[in-house]
């Protein structure tokens, strides 16, 4: 067979893998968290397990593996083909390293555990979810051994979501950031206690219809294409991509959750804009997606925080926002900017302000690492969680719902994922600094209604490439050098100095 005929054969196999992957991970999962009836979970979990098994078999197929070996390092490969083979090897090795029967049991466990988690959260009862979480962490300890690591088993789980990221790197950056975050929080709390802090604005209740109108307006203003996507209400804010032309944004609704709804829609919608902007030529290569979760999360953090908590953004959306919610005309864009940047310790990660958010992530990272190493038992997790919240944020959960049960991640199998949030915040700040140097002040661009210039820069530097570059290669290319926590520290100091007049 010729080189081209084998490449055509391989691309055909990859297309089948994509059909299974995106159907299971996006379309079926989207339905599961939005419209699926509660009693459908048992059969749905079997369907998801079956489809995952089919994907496993395709990746493990003898002919498929032979073709990968043929193209690995082949001198005739172009840049995209080399990237495709590299990603195939990474994906297939991570799945094939796990015995097929164990992998299918894992998929079925996760499908059921999410439903159990939701019920446990509703009841504020960790004991209901505990046996499932215990099985999940035991499974991931096994996965770490299957995937391999040099120093720490947690590194194997980190590497699944962010290539080349290590526990040592996170520990170093956390040690740099934690004292700065706590110092700024203490200064902010002094202002809050003395009454000299900016005014906190409680907006609500706001109806479902009004909030959805606001979400739609914001998505349109940041460039989300509704001909290639939609937004629905579900159990957890997320974004699910079937292809660049089929992006599902999911947000949560609460009558009194105006601020959270906006920030979540910016985060998920920004990631949606990313997915919609990936080159269609990469379909059928497994490259029509972000290279790592950390990269995609950095984009989400950019839209949510760098954009959504900026002065320019509230000037940018002020007129259409007050058309939908006329009661907001009593506030100026400056008032809304200061209100969205109000900071104080909170128990819920998704409700955390930008200043305290990383402390929530550091807590989860430290607990997760101890659960994997065996230093912490699942039975002791609620107490360990509460103690760390008291130590870092000065507050303690009253029940499991506002403590250890608040996140879906572990129930959904995202063990090792929280550090991606950590790196995303750091990366977003550095990326924004580079962007401002090259296209001008971002606040001014939004004030001038020139948001397309921001998206154009992101498309040219990040979006169009999909996963052609590795996560580290892409971010170093975008950030014009290696990562540094300095940009994030400077960003927070400048932001909260302005809002709270700290220095």
Give DSSP secondary structure letters for 408-437.
Answer: STTTTT-TT-HHHHHHHHHHHHHHHHHHHH
CB atoms within 10 A of CB 480: 12
Q: How far is CA 49 from CA 52, 141, 227, 258, 294, in A?
A: 5, 21, 31, 37, 26
Would you call the peptide bond into 205 cis, given omega within 30 degrees of 0 as the criterion? yes
- Name 249's bridge partners: 231, 239
**Could you give the CA distance from residue 474 to residue 295 in angstroms, rounded to a whole number?**
8
Q: How far is CA 409 from CA 96, 238, 283, in A?
A: 23, 11, 28
281 marked among binding-site residues: no
Q: Which residues of 79-91 are buried (b: 16+ CB within 10 A; e: fewer)?
A: ebbebbbebbebe
Strand, helix or coil at 230? strand
297 marked among binding-site residues: yes
* 3-state helix, strand and coil shares in percent for the chain, rounded to the nearest 5: 70, 5, 25
Strand, helix or coil at 71? helix
φ/ψ (deg, to 5) at 206: -120, 130
**Could you give the CA distance from residue 499 to residue 197 in angstroms, rounded to a whole number?**
8
**Could you give the CA distance from residue 101 to residue 6 in angstroms, rounded to a whole number?**
30
Alpha carbons within 13 angstroms on the beta-carbon side of residue 54 total: 16
Binding site, by residue number, is 267, 297
Binding site for Zn(2+), by residue number, is 267, 297
């Amino acid at each position: 067979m010729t080189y081209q005929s084998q490449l055509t054969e391989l691309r055909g196999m990859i297309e089948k893998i994509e059909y299974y992957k995106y159907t299971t991970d996006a379309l079926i999962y989207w339905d599961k968290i939005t419209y699926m009836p509660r009693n459908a979970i048992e059969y749905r979990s079997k369907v998801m397990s079956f489809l995952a098994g089919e994907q496993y078999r395709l990746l493990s197929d003898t002919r498929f593996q032979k073709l990968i070996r043929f193209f690995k390092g082949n001198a005739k490969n172009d840049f995209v083909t080399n990237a495709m083979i590299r990603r195939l090897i990474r994906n297939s090795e991570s799945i094939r390293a796990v015995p097929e029967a164990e992998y299918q049991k894992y998929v079925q466990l996760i499908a059921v555990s999410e439903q159990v988690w939701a019920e446990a959260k509703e009841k504020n009862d960790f004991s209901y979810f505990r046996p499932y979480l215990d099985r999940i962490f035991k499974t991931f300890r096994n996965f770490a051994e299957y995937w391999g690591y040099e120093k720490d088993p947690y590194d194997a789980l980190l590497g699944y979501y962010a290539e080349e990221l290590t526990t040592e790197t996170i520990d170093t950056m956390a040690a740099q950031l934690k004292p700065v975050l706590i110092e700024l929080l203490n200064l902010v709390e002094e202002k809050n206690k003395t009454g000299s802090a900016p005014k906190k604005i409680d907006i609500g209740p706001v109806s479902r219809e009004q909030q959805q109108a606001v979400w739609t307006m914001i998505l349109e203003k940041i460039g989300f294409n509704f001909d290639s996507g939609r937004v629905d209400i579900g159990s957890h804010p997320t974004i699910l991509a079937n292809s660049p032309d089929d992006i599902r944004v999911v947000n949560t609704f609460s009558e009194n959750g105006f601020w959270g709804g906006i920030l979540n829609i910016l985060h998920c919608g920004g990631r949606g804009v990313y997915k919609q902007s990936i080159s269609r030529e990469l379909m059928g290569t497994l490259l029509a997606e972000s290279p790592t979760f950390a990269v995609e999360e950095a984009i989400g953090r950019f839209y949510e925080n760098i954009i959504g908590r900026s002065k320019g953004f509230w000037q940018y959306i002020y007129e259409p926002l007050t058309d939908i919610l006329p009661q907001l005309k009593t506030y100026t864009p400056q008032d809304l900017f200061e209100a969205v940047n109000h900071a104080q310790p909170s128990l819920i990660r998704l409700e955390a302000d930008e200043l305290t958010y990383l402390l929530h992530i550091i807590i989860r990272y430290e607990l997760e690492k101890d659960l994997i190493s065996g230093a912490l038992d699942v039975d002791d997790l609620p107490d360990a969680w509460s103690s760390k919240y008291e130590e870092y944020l000065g507050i303690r959960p009253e029940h499991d719902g506002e403590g250890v049960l608040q996140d879906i991640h572990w129930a959904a199998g995202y063990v090792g994922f929280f550090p991606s949030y950590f790196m995303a915040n750091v990366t977003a700040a550095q990326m924004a600094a580079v962007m401002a140097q090259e296209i001008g002040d971002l606040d001014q661009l939004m004030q001038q209604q020139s948001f397309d210039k921001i998206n154009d820069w992101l498309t040219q530097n990040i979006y169009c490439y999909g996963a052609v570059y590795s996560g580290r290669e892409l971010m170093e290319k975008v950030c014009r050098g290696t990562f540094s926590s300095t940009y994030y520290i400077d960003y927070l100091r400048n932001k909260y100095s302005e809002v709270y007049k700290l220095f």
